[in-house]
Structure 1
Amino acid sequence: MKPDEIKILIVDDERYNINVLVDILKPDYRTIVAKNGEEALKRTMTAPLPDLILLDIMMPGMDGYEVCRQLKSDPKTCFIPVIFITAMTETEDETKGLELGAIDYITKPVSPPIVRARVKNHLALKLALEKIETQKEKLDEQNKALIEAARLREDVERITRHDIKTPLNAVIGFSQFLMMADNLTDAQLDGLKTIEDAGYRILNIINLSVDLFKMERGIYPFTPAIVNLLLVINKIIIETRELVRLRNLSVNVSIKGIPVDKNDIFTVQGDELLCYSMLANLIKNALEASPEGETISIILDEDEDAALITIHNKGVVPVDIRENFFDIYVTSGKETGTGLGTYSAKLIAETQNGRISMTTSETEGTYVTIKLPK
């Protein structure tokens, strides 16, 4: 706002005092005057409203205190800064004015430099507060828009998940129905089992997308149970056997340095589906990152208070993503990578009251270690 657009109301019952203040302020601001309290209230309501009011206290009829009280009790005028101009110098007089809502107190006879400085400072403060309020209103609108967008996204995702699940259930159900036939070859059974497993994996991904949303907001209803990780790991190894074959890799699983036996168990307190999703992502990442012909090691161990699962491959994490390896959408050198695998693994580990870490080097390769409650 330009200075000559700023409107200042001067209220005093003495013409001399009005003239003095008008002479001080008129070169820089638009001034209007009132000679008593009743007239001051009427002129205040004349559009546009004053940007600041200089108000005498001692006036016949309605005094400045009452004018200030009425101004501050009206939502239309309560935000207008009021500066008392008065010959009253007692501390209790000043205190009363400030308690009624005045922002400053100037004593008569007025000093022109002080009046100009006080008016300038309070107008600048009023302008700053108005900008803050405008920004707050914009932020409130943006926040409402974001909340609405998030709600719409959730609705779309929920509908999408429902629309995907319906035909997916048919795929799983029909493959199971076909497997009941007694005239199938082993190859045909294996093919149908692959279709069934793929259907379940997609179904798990859909369900997990809902769970990740809850984990991000800290509202996932985690109920720990005993999970045998060896069964989970064996299932993942079977599902990734084609990738292992194509890259000429091998996968070794050990407990405390000893190769696992078919009768071994290794349990944690967790959620089986979450453990499956977390380890499937990390093991697949290790298989894809490993140089061809190498070995991926899955090492199971424990310390005093936690079970340790370490996945090692001879590949090296690129320098540009080492610091934010577990952040969302972080990926490097993978044409089909989404950057959600390690992010979801970290989220799942923490949801199960665990934690996850990564170390990598040219000489040692990459180790990803998960700690979960025993």
Structure 2
Amino acid sequence: MSHKPTVLAVDDTPENLHVLMDLLKVDYAIIAAKDGEKALKLAHSKEPDIILLDVMMPGMDGYEVIKRLKSEERTKDIPVVFVTSLSEAGDETRGLALGAIDYITKPFNPDIVKARVRNHLELREAVRMREDVERIMRHDLKSPLTSVISLPQLILMSGDFDDHIKSMLGRIEDAGYTVLSMINMSTALFKMERGTYSFVPESFDLAAVVRKVFLGYEDTAQMRGQELVLEIEGSTAVPGQEFMFFGEELLCYSMLGNLVGNAVDASPKGGTIRVRLQQTDDSVRISVHNPGMVPEDIKNRFFAKYATSGKDRGTGLGTYSAKLIAQAHKGDIFMDSVDNEVSVSVVIPR
């Protein structure tokens, strides 16, 4: 027997519950509650796939129920569709702000009820499948990457090689770490979008991260006659100079990789791309500067998802992911384009 998705219907009017149960019982397993307290208990014990929640109920109303659902780890991801006879836009806005994904109005239109429930359950299943596929990909890709990362060091230990060979092996190892970070980041960014990412900061050398990012773009920059420059507190950094930072190293590596990569792509031949690291008593500023101008068609949506212009291979996700990473660090990100120079700055409170 195939498993039917579970729908929790919550309404203080028995007639409304009977109507919903009659509409949905063929395709779904229906459980019902006549008040907010019972709804919360069923949500915790049964973990339904979707909740149809009446707004106006005596005692605990629908707004309070959804607040409590979204505050609990076990129930916060259950999609909630409000059921209401209210038509004012303000009521819908309030519900959506609390986390409801949709509204169904009374009296019920059978086709609309069935379509809304079906569509939201299919969407939730698609999200689950995406997460499962990403977990499988991360697991299966990490095995061959272990060889890519470890073999260069084993080769170096097996003989005496000139500096050119050592450099090439080092780049293979760095490329392996880059791909590994991309695999790890795929799920992290998805969780940031949903507001479920667990931020775990540590102290690390941000200047070393910038140098590693530069290494990944070194060949492209050289072919274009471009220079990659790191500046710390207003002066060109000397080799080995540190800039300690409290955050997540992998996130910062990904953020800087995207911003520097965009700067290299957008800069003319012979241009200089500068990464500047500065700190004050209350904040840290990470900024990437490059010659050029931002195209007019993306100025107002520079950090929007899929915003791109003039790049056949561009996904439009680089600056968007940089924004998510800045926000994960409780900071913000800004773009300026004046006097033929573009600067993207991330400001993070200390």
Give the TM-score category using the shorter length: 0.5 to 0.7
Alignment of 1:70-85 (within 5 A): 75=18
Alignment of 1:323 with 2:300, yes or no, is yes
Query: In structure 2, how many angstroms separate the alpha carbons of the residues matched to 1:341 and 1:250?
Result: 21
Alignment of 1:179-258 (within 5 A): 179-258=156-235
Alignment of 1:306 with 2:253, yes or no, is no
Query: In structure 2, how many angstroms separate the alpha carbons of the residues matched to 1:75 and 1:229?
Result: 61
Partner of 2:345: 369
Query: In structure 2, how many angstroms separate the alpha carbons of the residues matched to 1:74 and 1:329?
Result: 43
Counting aligned pairs with the same residue, the percent is 41
Alignment of 1:22-41 (within 5 A): none
Q: 2:133 aligns with which of 156, 162, 170?
A: 156
Aligned pairs, number: 253
Partner of 1:340: 317
Partner of 1:96: none
What letter corresponds to residue 163 of structure 2 in structure 1?
A: D
Alignment of 1:144 with 2:121, yes or no, is yes
Q: 1:294 aligns with which of 271, 291, 295?
A: 271
5+ residue gaps, structure 2: 1-13, 23-104
Farther off after superposition, 186-195 or 347-356? 186-195
Farther off after superposition, 228-237 or 299-308? 299-308
Query: In structure 2, how many angstroms separate the alpha carbons of the residues matched to 1:367 and 1:234?
Result: 19
How far off its partner does 1:300 sit?
2.1
What letter corresponds to residue 196 of structure 2 in structure 1?
A: I
Larger Rg: 1
- TM-score for the superposition, normalised by structure 1: 0.63
How far off its partner does 1:366 sit?
0.7
Q: 1:267 aligns with which of 239, 244, 248?
A: 244
Alignment of 1:281 with 2:246, yes or no, is no
Query: In structure 2, how many angstroms separate the alpha carbons of the residues matched to 1:74 and 1:369?
Result: 54
Secondary structure at 2:301 match in 1: coil
Query: In structure 1, how many angstroms separate the alpha carbons of the residues matched to 2:119 and 2:192?
Result: 25
5+ residue gaps, structure 1: 1-70, 80-127
How far off its partner does 1:180 sit?
1.5
Farther off after superposition, 344-353 or 133-142? 133-142
How far off its partner does 1:133 sit?
4.8
Query: In structure 2, how many angstroms separate the alpha carbons of the residues matched to 1:279 and 1:72?
Result: 58
Partner of 2:51: none
Query: In structure 2, how many angstroms separate the alpha carbons of the residues matched to 1:150 and 1:239?
Result: 33
Partner of 1:20: none
What letter corresponds to residue 311 of structure 1 in structure 2?
A: V
Query: In structure 1, how many angstroms separate the alpha carbons of the residues matched to 2:231 and 2:151?
Result: 38
Decide whether the 8 Å contact of 1:307 with 1:373 is kept in 2. yes
Decide whether the 8 Å contact of 1:269 with 1:373 is kept in 2. no
Alignment of 1:135 with 2:108, yes or no, is no
Query: In structure 1, how many angstroms separate the alpha carbons of the residues matched to 2:325 and 2:219?
Result: 26
Partner of 1:39: none
Secondary structure at 1:368 match in 2: strand
Secondary structure at 2:273 match in 1: strand
Cα 1:302–1:135 shift into 2, 3 Å:
same
CA deviation map 1:176-235 (0-9, x unaligned): 322211243332222222211111111110011111112112222212222321111111
Query: In structure 2, how many angstroms separate the alpha carbons of the residues matched to 1:72 and 1:231?
Result: 66
What letter corresponds to residue 158 of structure 2 in structure 1?
A: A
Alignment of 1:92-171 (within 5 A): 129-130=106-107, 132-171=109-148
How far off its partner does 1:281 sit?
0.9
Query: In structure 1, how many angstroms separate the alpha carbons of the residues matched to 2:232 and 2:188?
Result: 30
Query: In structure 1, how many angstroms separate the alpha carbons of the residues matched to 2:273 and 2:17?
Result: 75
Secondary structure at 2:139 match in 1: helix
Partner of 1:5: none
CA deviation map 1:86-119 (0-9, x unaligned): xxxxxxxxxxxxxxxxxxxxxxxxxxxxxxxxxx
Cα 1:370–1:136 shift into 2, 3 Å:
same
Cα 1:134–1:180 shift into 2, 3 Å:
same
Query: In structure 1, how many angstroms separate the alpha carbons of the residues matched to 2:337 and 2:179?
Result: 31
Cα 1:209–1:365 shift into 2, 3 Å:
same
Cα 1:270–1:165 shift into 2, 3 Å:
same
Query: In structure 2, how many angstroms separate the alpha carbons of the residues matched to 1:251 and 1:73?
Result: 66
Decide whether the 8 Å contact of 1:248 with 1:292 is kept in 2. yes
Query: In structure 1, how many angstroms separate the alpha carbons of the residues matched to 2:137 and 2:215?
Result: 30
Query: In structure 1, how many angstroms separate the alpha carbons of the residues matched to 2:226 and 2:316?
Result: 23
